[in-house]
Amino acid sequence: MPATDAQNVILEIIRQVGGTWIGKTKLFKAFYFAHLYYDKNRPGRLTDWSIARMPEGPGIDNSKVLFAALMDNGLLTEERIDEGPYPEYEYRLTPKGEGTASPRDDAVQAIREAVEFCKQKTATKLSEITHERSRSWKEGKDGDILDIGLDLIPDDEHEMAKEELKHVEEILANILRGVPA
């Protein structure tokens, strides 16, 4: 069962940096990493919101719906700003958003760890990390919903599990063909 909903995770990410977050890609990465930190430290998912494969790495699936709900409920503002010559988005908690209750302590801890991991890195660096390390992203194609739990399995354990699965599939194929096991 998820610890909290996706809206509260977004609000807590922004709360952790003082109420203003600049950068859509970077926010997507903080959301992804919060899920990894949560899953790493306890069984279960932080939220039941899907994380999808996007060109720049894992990101918030159907983010327009999530952010529209936050803005419609008066919890968050989104403004297009310029970062030098480049367009970017600034997300700011409203007074109503600042006053929302924080998620459970274990969720806040995972979010805090994700924010600490992300805040001093550029969006480009965070994307590079996910391109290099995210097994679910590397194995998927754009638009796929990712099973990010795969990203926490060490390479040797993942390879061993794939070999075991291959062996089981061979046994099942033989059984279906009537070959004794």
Nearest to 18 by CA among 99, 71, 100, 93: 93
Q: 152 CB contacts (<8 Å, ≥6 apart)?
A: 36, 39, 40
CA pair distance 160, 72, nearest whole angstrom: 48
Q: Which two tokens stand for residue 111?
A: 């979010």
Distance CA 99, CA 155 (A): 42
pLDDT at 3: 42
Per-residue confidence in pLDDT tens, the chain, 181 aa:
344 599 999 999 999 999 999 999 999 999 999 999 999 988 889 999 999 999 999 999 999 999 999 999 999 999 999 989 999 999 999 999 999 988 989 999 999 999 999 999 999 999 999 999 999 999 999 999 999 989 988 777 757 766 777 778 877 887 888 877 6
Query: How far is the C-alpha of 93 from the C-alpha of 83, rounded, in Å?
Result: 20
Amino acid at 84: G
- Position 42 scores a pLDDT of 86
Which among 11, 1, 20, 23 has a CA at the least distance from the CA of 111? 11
Residue 1 is predicted with a pLDDT of 35
How far apart (Å, rounded) are the C-alpha atoms in residues 103 and 87?
A: 31
Strand partners, 81: 88
- Provide the whole-model pTM: 0.86
Structure confidence at residue 174 (pLDDT): 76
